[in-house]
Homo-oligomer: A and B are copies of this chain.
Amino acid sequence: MKRLVLFVLFVLSKMVASAKSFDQSSRPIGGRLEAFSLSYCLSWRLAVETNNIKGWRTVPVQCLHHVEAYMIGGQYDSDLNLIVDQINNYIDRITLSDDGLDAWILDVDDTCLSNIFYYKGKRFGVDPYDPQAFKEWALRGICPAIPSILRLFLKLVENGFKVFLITGRDETTFAQPTLHNLHFQGFFGFERLILRSEAHKGQSGMVYKSEIRRKLLEEEGFRIWGNVGDQWSDLHGQFLANATFKLPNPMYFVP
């Protein structure tokens, strides 16, 4: 009977140890390392999102699991939902005129359409940018819509905004698959899909998109009420929108 008691004690002590491993402090070495890594990756991601780190090429390898968990574990979706709530509040305060010149800009990649499936194969940005592989992915035209942004898009169209989708994707290569992809995912009713033409080849996203906004504002007379993108280069530069909204993207940086 004494041996039975000892056996029960042994089994249950293992259960306690295993259950306790949820608490970092019970793993003096691994736990501290993990806590340091989490703390570093949280700081890295915040610095990326606030544009304090610019021109970064790859996600730090120690943040692979952090970025993966962020992108597919629900927090990315939560972050998008809260931003779209803010955008909706802003939209509801706008009175549109009847001249048809109230415009709104949305970026395409990782704004309207998600590349998470592609980046899963690139270790969520730990692997360096692979233009050939990305080209093959984008040509397939199977990027899923980002649900919260699709809802925003449909509201903008319904409210009477002229919605311009502006992408850095090359016009010659990607015009048709991108259009098909957008339609297939439910993006109907936008005013124009603007891709990078020959004239803008080699320009940074910021310079190219500033020039597109200049044309919309100065040549066509639009009022750009809002601009939404996952890159600061979508939003910064010249000829800015009245309001800009930065969506999270810890997987890659576009200058």
Flag the segment in A38-46, A126-134, A160-168, A173-181 that touches B: A38-46
A59 to chain B, nearest CB (A): 14
Question: Which residues from 1 to 54 on chain A have a C-beta closer than 8 Å to any C-beta of chain B?
Answer: 1, 4-5, 8-9, 12-13, 15-16, 19-20, 22-23, 39-40, 42-44, 46-47, 49-53
- How many chain copies? 2
In the assembled complex, the Cα of A81 lies from the Cα of B82 at a distance in Å of: 28
In the assembled complex, the Cα of A4 lies from the Cα of B3 at a distance in Å of: 13
Q: What are 27 contact pairs spanning A and B, CB under 8 A?
A: A1-B5, A4-B5, A5-B5, A8-B8, A9-B12, A12-B15, A15-B16, A16-B16, A19-B20, A19-B22, A22-B23, A40-B82, A42-B75, A42-B79, A43-B81, A43-B82, A46-B49, A46-B79, A47-B83, A49-B49, A49-B50, A50-B50, A52-B82, A52-B83, A52-B86, A52-B245, A53-B86
Apart from A12-B12, A47-B79, A52-B246, list 11 A-B contacts with CB within 8 A. A8-B8, A12-B15, A16-B16, A40-B82, A44-B82, A46-B46, A47-B82, A49-B50, A52-B82, A52-B86, A53-B86
